[in-house]
Amino acid sequence: MGTIPAGEFKKGIKVQIDNEPYEMLEMHFVKPGKGQALYRTKLRNLLRGSLFEKTYRNGDSLESADVHRNDGVYSYRDGDNYVFMDNATFEQHSLSAAAVQDEMRWLMEGATVGLLFWNGQLITMSPPLQVILTVTYTEPAARGNTATNVTKPAVVETGAEVQVPAFIKEGDKIKIDTTTGQYMERVQY
């Protein structure tokens, strides 16, 4: 892999530090009155998700990381692992339950996902930004409770719990924002 000089740092690049991949989330150029130009960066470790801030000088450089994204499909659960198929190569890759954490609560088998590879190995996946799921359980709305913004808990077909408006009932399909876990709207089919 090549190196990226500090003058070419920008948001979104993937670099390798201590043999681990990082994504640059922020980069601020600072030119003090005296001395060299500085590049203040904020990086996210793509394996652990931890944040890392570091300042680089004008002559510094970082090694670029062999990171690429592909579309994929959630295939099935195999014990403590989840299996995904890469749409480009049709290969199957698995991730541990710890690696995918809460993202799986929004996915049904066959759902489209984003796959992130580093050095040819799957390191993480991301669900679509919005999903449409069926409500499997919710309490009936309280009669006469017509005040605005009244919500109640509802369980969707994946087992996740979402706060929904009082008019939602079992069997309704709802759209959910997967980044916040919030109800967006009822979907008519």
Each residue of 37-55: pLDDT tens digit?
A: 899 999 988 887 789 899 9
Task: Output the DSSP codes for the chain.
Answer: --EEEGGG--TT-EEEETTEEEEEEEEEEE--SSS--EEEEEEEETTT--EEEEEEETT-EEEEP-EEEEEEEEEEEETTEEEEEETTT--EEEEEHHHHGGGGGG--TT-EEEEEEETTEEEEEE--SEEEEEEEEEPPPPTT---TT-EEEEEETTS-EEEEETT--TT-EEEEETTTTEEEEEE--
Q: Report in angstroms the alpha-carbon separations of 96 from 9, 37, 46, 123.
A: 32, 43, 15, 10
Residues 110 and 157 in one domain: no
Which domain, by its residues, includes 154?
Answer: 130-187
Question: What pLDDT band is residue 162 in, cutting at 50, 70 and 90?
Answer: very high
Residues 73 and 107 in one domain: yes
Q: Is residue 154 predicted with pLDDT exceeding 90?
A: yes
Q: Name the domain boundary from 17, 46, 64.
A: 64
Q: How many structural domains is the chain composed of?
A: 3
pTM summary value: 0.76
At 59 the pLDDT is 87
Q: Is residue 189 predicted with pLDDT exceeding 80?
A: no
- Report the CATH number at residue 43: 2.30.30.30
- Report the CATH number at residue 178: 2.40.50.140
Residues 33 and 71 in one domain: no
